[in-house]
Amino acid sequence: MRYIVQINLFICLSLFFISCGTQQVESDLPAGLDKKHGAYSYIRGDREVSLLVDYEVARLRKDDKYFPLDVMIANNGLKSLTVTRESLILIDAEGKAYNMPTIDEIQKEYSNLWADSLFKYPSALSDEQALTSFTYYQVQRSNFFPRTSGAARVTDKVIIRPKGYIDDRLYFPMPDSGIEKKKLILRLVALELDMPFDVVFTIK
C-alpha cells in the first residue's frame, strides 16, 4: 500500500513540475500575440487581407542598427490593395512607431544586406503558402530593398490585385527597447482598408 502511495505521489509531483516548466516557457513570451505559423512566423488574416511576418533572419541582427523581416501580404477580397514604403509601420513594445528606411539609408548604414541575401526567405515558405492558400494566389513583383545599388529596380509601390500577394524582405530601424522577446506590431495601412491591419508578434 505504501509503495502505491509513493508511486502516486511521484506521479503527482512529476506532473506538477512539468506543469510549472510549461508555464514558465509560455510566460517567457509577451501576451496577446497573433497565431504562430511555422517555427519563426506569425500570421493574421481576414476576408480582405492576410499578413504574415517571419523573423528567422532578424534573430541574427539583434545588435544591429536595422533588422530584416520577411513579409507576405495577400489580397483576399479587395478590388485592389496598394502597398507603399509608407504602408508598413513597426510599433515597438513602448508604442513607438518606426517607418521603413530608404534604400539609400540601408545601403549606406547597414553592412549585412548582402549577407542577409544569402539566407533564403521564410524557411518553410512552401508550407506557409499551402497553409494560407497562397499557392492558389499569384505572386507579384516586390523589391523594396535590392541588395546592391543598381542591381534591380527598387519597388516604391505595389498594387496587389485580388487573389494576389507579395513576398518581400523588409527592413526597419532597431527599436530603442530592442526586439528580443518584446511584443511587436507590424501595421499595414492602405487606402483600401477602413482601418490599419496589425499582426502582433515577437522575436526570440
4 and 76 housed in the same domain: no
Whether residue 154 contacts residue 178, with contact meaning beta carbons closer than 8 Å, is answered with no
How many C-beta neighbours within 10 Å does residue 84 have? 16
Which pLDDT value is given to residue 80?
A: 97
As a whole number of angstroms, the distance between CA 108 and CA 190 comes to: 29
Under the phi-then-psi rule, with left for phi > 0, alpha for psi from -120 to 50, and beta for the rest, what region is 192?
alpha
70 and 97 housed in the same domain: yes
Domain hosting 16: range is: 1-29
57 and 9 housed in the same domain: no
Which pLDDT value is given to residue 123?
A: 41
84 and 118 housed in the same domain: yes
Q: How many domains does the chain have?
A: 2
94 and 4 housed in the same domain: no
AA letter at 189:
V
How many C-beta neighbours within 10 Å does residue 46 have? 10
44 and 120 housed in the same domain: yes
Q: In the chain, which residues have pLDDT < 70?
A: 1-30, 120-135, 148-152
pTM over 0.85: no
144 and 70 housed in the same domain: yes
Q: Is the dihedral of CA 167, 169, 175, 180 positive or negative?
A: positive
Which pLDDT value is given to residue 11?
A: 36
Which pLDDT value is given to residue 7?
A: 36
Which pLDDT value is given to residue 28?
A: 59
Which pLDDT value is given to residue 14?
A: 38
48 and 9 housed in the same domain: no
Which pLDDT value is given to residue 75?
A: 95
